[in-house]
Amino acid sequence: MARTQEFDTGKALGDARRVFWDKGFDATSIADLEAATGLGRSSIYHGFGSKRGLFDAVIQDYMDTVLRPRLTLLHNQAHPAEGISTYLTSLSDALVKTADQTTNRGCLLLNTAAGIAGNDEALRLLIDGYQVELRDGVAGALRAADPTQTDAVVLARARIVAGLTMGALLMARVNLGEALSTLEAAGEQARLWLPAGSQAR
C-alpha cells in the first residue's frame, strides 16, 4: 500500500526556498532542510526523491508563483509603456523586500545561474528559457508601443533591457544599491525608445 503524504507541499517548498536562497544548493544540507521545513529526512526523500528533487521543485514553484506572474506585467496592451515601467518597479520592490540586515537574497533563479546551472543542462535550459520569456515580453511591449519599429530593432532593444535587468538581478546579492540603479537605468533606456505619447505617467 502506497504511503500517504502527510505534509503541506506548498509550505515545505516555501520553507526550503528560503534555505536554498540564503545558502545555495551546494552549501545546503539535508539537516538544514529538516530544520527549516520541520520534515524528517524520510519525508523529504519520500516527497521529493532527493535534495536535488526538492531543489528542482522549489525552482519550478518559484518560476510558477513568482517569476511568471511578474512577467505578465509586461503584457499591458492598453498601456504597453506602463507595462515595462511596472515590471521593473515590481522587481526593485521585490529586491528591497527580500533584503535584510545580513543578506541580500537577489533572485533565486539567477543565483542558481551563477552556481550549479553552468554545469547542469536541465537548469541551464530553464534559465535560458526564462531569459527568452523576459526578452520576448519586453519586445512585445516595445512593439505594441511603437508598431513602426522593425523586428530587428525591437529585438535588439529588448535584449538590452533584458540584459540590464538580468545583470541587476545577479548584482543584487552583492550590491543592492547598484542593482536598483541598474534597474532604473533599464527603465530610462526603454523610455528613450518609446514614443512620447506612450510614456508611462
**How much of the chain is in helix, strand and coil states, percent to nearest 5?**
75, 0, 20
Band (13; pLDDT cuts 50, 70, 90): very high
pLDDT tens profile 59-100? 999 999 999 999 999 987 678 778 999 999 999 998 888 776
- Would you tell me how many other CB atoms lie within 10 Å of the CB of residue 64? 10
Residue 5 has pLDDT above 80, yes or no: no
pLDDT tens profile 15-68? 999 999 888 888 999 999 999 999 999 999 999 999 999 999 999 999 999 999
Rounded CA separation 190/161 (Å):
7
Higher pLDDT, 114 or 183: 183
pTM value is 0.85
Rounded CA separation 146/150 (Å):
10
> 166, 159 in Cβ contact below 8 A?
no
